[in-house]
Amino acid sequence: MSWEVERLDKAKELIEMYPQKRSALGPLLYLAQDKDGYISNDSIVEISSLIGITEVQVQSVASFYSMYKQEPTGQYLLSVCKSISCEISKSSDVINKVKEFTNLSNNETDDEGLFTYESVECIGACGGAPAIQVNYETVEGLTPEKAVDLCKWLKDVKPEIVVADELQQKFGGTKSFDWAVEDNTGSSSPVPSFQSYDTSKGSK
């Protein structure tokens, strides 16, 4: 199934931003994943014709980057950091608790399509270790208990949009730095919320 008109218009807009069409490949893959939760074969065909490279070339790029998912992802992508500052701040306890609550191992999605779990490398929240991202919205200064509370809340409330600042207030602790002013923008899919890609959503 090819892309609907709205998404094609956005795609053309993104392609226009670059001196060469192929540079838009990354943004176009986000566009695909925002809608489908992963990079589908149909999207690979569509993107290949939009920017004039082969389907194999599209797939070869998509498979290189860890944020492009090859399989359908749940509504909430839980990415717990395990790199050095988090590791020495007991991120393994957070990881174990989140895995236990969701009953998932690494890179798995539950049957309801609610959660996908992954442990990831450094997300730049080292001053607030251990940290997690939900759909690439960061929460710092977690404890294993708060991490479970966060998952429970997502499961019960099922917010359409997850917002870093809201999650941080409810479940976070020590931050890497003063976030200063509250931000209401967040994400509704397992891609970074970013206005240029139309993946950014207001919360309230």
Closest CA to 23 of 56, 47, 55: 47
Q: Which residues contact 191 (CB under 8 A, 6 or more apart)?
A: 30, 33, 34, 67, 135, 136, 197, 199
Q: Is 176 in the site for other proteins (CB under 8 A)?
A: yes
Structure token digits, residue 63: 């498979």
What sign has the CA pseudo-torsion 44, 50, 55, 60? negative
- Mask: binding to other proteins, 134-173, rule CB under 8 A, as x and -? --xxx-------------------------x---------
Segment near other proteins (CB under 8 A), from 2-10, 109-117, 148-156, 181-189? 181-189
C-alpha gyration radius of the chain? 18
User: Do the bridges between strand 115-120 and strand 76-81 make them parallel or antiparallel, or are there none, so unpaired?
Assistant: parallel
Binding residue (CB under 8 A) for other proteins from 45, 61, 107, 159: 61
Tokens 């790199």 correspond to what residue? 83
Taking the least distance from each CB to other proteins, the nearer of 2 and 17 is 17
Q: Is 88 in the site for other proteins (CB under 8 A)?
A: yes
Contact footprint for other proteins (CB under 8 A): 17-20, 22-27, 29-30, 51, 53, 60-61, 64-68, 79, 82-85, 87-89, 120-129, 133, 136-138, 164, 174, 176-181, 183, 185, 187, 192-197, 200
